[in-house]
A and B are shown apart, each in its own frame.
Chain A
Amino acid sequence: MLIYAILIFAAAYYLLPLYVMLTTSLKTLHQVNNASLLSLPDPITFKPWAEAWSSACMGVNCSGLQHYFWNSVSFVLPAVFISTVFGALNGYVLTKWQFRGSNLFFGLLLVGTFVPYQMFLLPMAWTLGKIGLSNSIGGLVLVHSVYGLAFTTLFCRNFYVSMPDELVKAARVDGAGFIRIFWRIVLPLSLPILMVSIIWQFTQIWNDFLFGIVFTSGTHQPITVALYNMVDTSSTGIKRYNVDMAGAVITALPTFIIYILAGRYFVRGLTAGSVKG
């Protein structure tokens, strides 16, 4: 019984902020200012959502989050895709086509997962400037792909280590080459780990604030930075908590949806290989 009490308490503790965000985003500003934080919206209004989406101001620019939402989508999807595909390829090479020094190579890559974000900033900014990608969506795609590669490689390598080498040998004897084996045999068996990689990368990149604010400005910024600016702008006049909350929910929504769609693979992928299937 106690364990359930603790679990329910923990769940409530984590759900309460979400509850406040959701209810506040559906309240009129009048109710926000005059009723309790925990009260249900009465009447329910979608106006804060509409405003956050299309007319809230970030500084002098009053066109809502929508532009920035699509900004985020346009660099998150390619970055997730690129880092996942190359992570899988790296893992495949590091386990099934080992070369002299491949373990050292993996060790160095692993160090990449320990390097703090902040250390990347200056060298990366310099590099982006040199190759003409500063302040652009392409630049963000590159930064996130490279930074994520260490993680996706780690995931995939550990997954492929438990995949029998004989599968690859059998395919080689059957006449398949490097790419064909990857495409026809290895990749179809990788769904669980690809899901882990996609969820992880999507969450990391979508929620990123630091790279976004450092490497972009103005209309190229991701939604996380835009949200910050929006909240910051509204704080100069009257605080419109309902619009801020709606903006926050909109910003969080994609990762939420990804978890709902692919979450069960996440757990499965993380535990795959630990039990022989």
Chain B
Amino acid sequence: MSVLTIRKINKTYGNEAVLHDINIDMQDGEFLILVGPSGCGKTTLLNMIAGLESVTGGEIAIDGRRINGLGPRDRNIAMVFQSYALYPNMTVRGNISFGLEMRKVPRPRRSEIVNRVAKTLQIEHLLDRKPAALSGGQRQRVAIGRALAREPSLFLFDEPLSALDAKLRDEMRTELKILHQRLKTSMVYVTHDQIEAMTLGDRIAVMYGGRVQQLGAPQDIYDNPTNRFVAGFIGSPAMNFIPCELAEENGAFGVRLSGGEETRLLPLPDAIADKLKSWGRGKAVLGVRPEHVTPSTAEQQTEAVSCPVNVVEPTGPNTYVFSKVNDVEIIVRCTPGHAPEAGSRAKLEFDLSKALFFDPETDDRVA
């Protein structure tokens, strides 16, 4: 059964439209991520689900019940805010039980729930402190605890980890994932961090310009992005986009690539070639991920392109090489021992079975 259904949602502020025709259907127990760059409307959408923001057009249903006109308190949701929004005048205990108190849960039951939640999140020793006396990570836990205290149909998270430092963020991310696996509750989670999106989500909705660009499983979005925006947004370092000519020589259909010296025609696998042929244009944008370009080891590699090695950046597990193909900068991922030297030239092999092609004008995927 779907816990959340969003049908044709629109939102305008005055004359400015910020959300266009959003459609999302979320299964019970699912961890759904809304990801996208700043200003794409993630918070607006989340606030509309929460009832903190009015709906301009369309329909939202939770547990099959239309909730458009209902206030936040009647929607059976809990929310964790980016700034935590803990009540500074109340203790941790007070913060966690406030929502229960507002819903007239009797006092003994309240303290039972507070203790259970505190145990889950390991904040029992903090219950009598005020938020000002907590560290960032502890505040984050309390904010999550406040949401956990009630047992809503749906949890909403608005960039809950973005205020934490990198190390703590990684820890909390894993904890959230464990929490979700244990509680099996439905969660909508907003982030602009694509790593968080990939690691946490059962499904990801990639948003841009007030539209859902693609909705799908993380690996599927990574492997099969529907357009250039999604392809470039998901994955780090980002996918390389190389404008190139498509041509047929001696019966082989392929792309022309040049590292500044000779131009090579690299043949494409049949499946891709067929799609490009039926698309029928001479120029496209080749999308290839950094891990699908590798420096060639063999001397005489006909399928490799000789390219300059401009910068070499070791990161530990991987070394990234910055090069130039068809006059655009590309990033190549190497294993540390096998990286070429900066200033030299290297033969680069392109794994074209993983290549994607985009329309240079519309940025839509064509193959």
In the complex the two chains form, is B50's CB within 8 Å of A173's CB?
A: yes
Nearest opposing residue in chain B for A189, CB measure: B89
In the complex the two chains form, is B85's CB within 8 Å of A176's CB?
A: no
Question: For chain B residues 65-87, which have a beta carbon within 8 Å of chain A?
Answer: 71-73, 77-79, 81-83, 85-87
In the complex the two chains form, is A172's CB within 8 Å of B89's CB?
A: no
Nearest opposing residue in chain B for A180, CB measure: B102
Residues of B within 8 A of A167 (CB): 85, 87
Complex CA gap A236/B75 in Å reads 77
Residues of B within 8 A of A166 (CB): 81-83, 85
The yes or no answer to A175 lying at the interface (CB within 8 A) is: yes
Residues of A within 8 A of B87 (CB): 167, 170-171, 184-185
Question: For chain A residues 99-130, which have a beta carbon within 8 Å of chain B?
Answer: none
For A142-182 the 0/1 string (1 means CB < 8 A from B) is 00000000000000000000001011011111111100100
The yes or no answer to B209 lying at the interface (CB within 8 A) is: no
Complex CA gap A177/B86 in Å reads 17
CB distance from B101 to the nearest CB of A (A): 9
Complex CA gap A170/B83 in Å reads 10
Residues of A within 8 A of B82 (CB): 166
Complex CA gap A171/B78 in Å reads 11
Given A172-B72, A174-B99, the answer on whether A164 and B83 have CB atoms closer than 8 Å is: yes
For A206-241 the 0/1 string (1 means CB < 8 A from B) is 000000000000000000000000000000000000
Complex CA gap A167/B47 in Å reads 14
Question: For chain B residues 14-67, which have a beta carbon within 8 Å of chain A?
Answer: 47, 50-52
For B93-130 the 0/1 string (1 means CB < 8 A from A) is 00000110011000000000000000000000000000
CB distance from B62 to the nearest CB of A (A): 13
In the complex the two chains form, is A175's CB within 8 Å of B85's CB?
A: no
The yes or no answer to A188 lying at the interface (CB within 8 A) is: yes
CB distance from A84 to the nearest CB of B (A): 19
The yes or no answer to B146 lying at the interface (CB within 8 A) is: yes
Complex CA gap A198/B294 in Å reads 73
For A31-73 the 0/1 string (1 means CB < 8 A from B) is 0000000000000000000000000000000000000000000
Complex CA gap A173/B103 in Å reads 11
Residues of B within 8 A of A185 (CB): 87, 89
The yes or no answer to B237 lying at the interface (CB within 8 A) is: no
Nearest opposing residue in chain A for B83, CB measure: A166
Complex CA gap A173/B53 in Å reads 12
In the complex the two chains form, is A170's CB within 8 Å of B89's CB?
A: no
Complex CA gap A173/B146 in Å reads 11
Nearest opposing residue in chain B for A165, CB measure: B85
The yes or no answer to B88 lying at the interface (CB within 8 A) is: yes
Complex CA gap A164/B88 in Å reads 11
CB distance from A271 to the nearest CB of B (A): 18
Complex CA gap A175/B101 in Å reads 9
Complex CA gap A66/B146 in Å reads 55
In the complex the two chains form, is B98's CB within 8 Å of A171's CB?
A: yes
Complex CA gap A171/B86 in Å reads 9
Complex CA gap A167/B89 in Å reads 11
Residues of A within 8 A of B88 (CB): 189
The one of A172, A176, A184, A189 that contacts B52, using a Cβ cutoff of 8 Å: A172
In the complex the two chains form, is A172's CB within 8 Å of B81's CB?
A: no
In the complex the two chains form, is B85's CB within 8 Å of A169's CB?
A: yes
In the complex the two chains form, is B83's CB within 8 Å of A173's CB?
A: no
In the complex the two chains form, is B72's CB within 8 Å of A173's CB?
A: yes
Pairs across A and B, CB under 8 Å, 29 listed: A164-B85, A166-B82, A166-B85, A167-B87, A169-B85, A170-B81, A170-B85, A170-B86, A170-B87, A171-B87, A171-B98, A172-B71, A172-B73, A173-B50, A173-B52, A173-B72, A173-B73, A173-B77, A173-B79, A174-B102, A175-B73, A175-B99, A175-B103, A176-B102, A184-B87, A185-B87, A185-B89, A189-B88, A189-B89
A residues in contact (CB < 8 Å) with B: 164, 166-167, 169-177, 180, 184-185, 188-189
B residues in contact (CB < 8 Å) with A: 47, 50-52, 71-73, 77-79, 81-83, 85-89, 98-99, 102-103, 146
In addition to A175-B99, A184-B98, 9 A-B residue pairs with Cβ atoms within 8 Å of each other are A167-B85, A167-B87, A170-B86, A170-B146, A172-B71, A175-B73, A176-B73, A184-B87, A188-B89
**Top 3 closest A-B pairs, CB basis?**
A175-B102, A174-B99, A166-B85
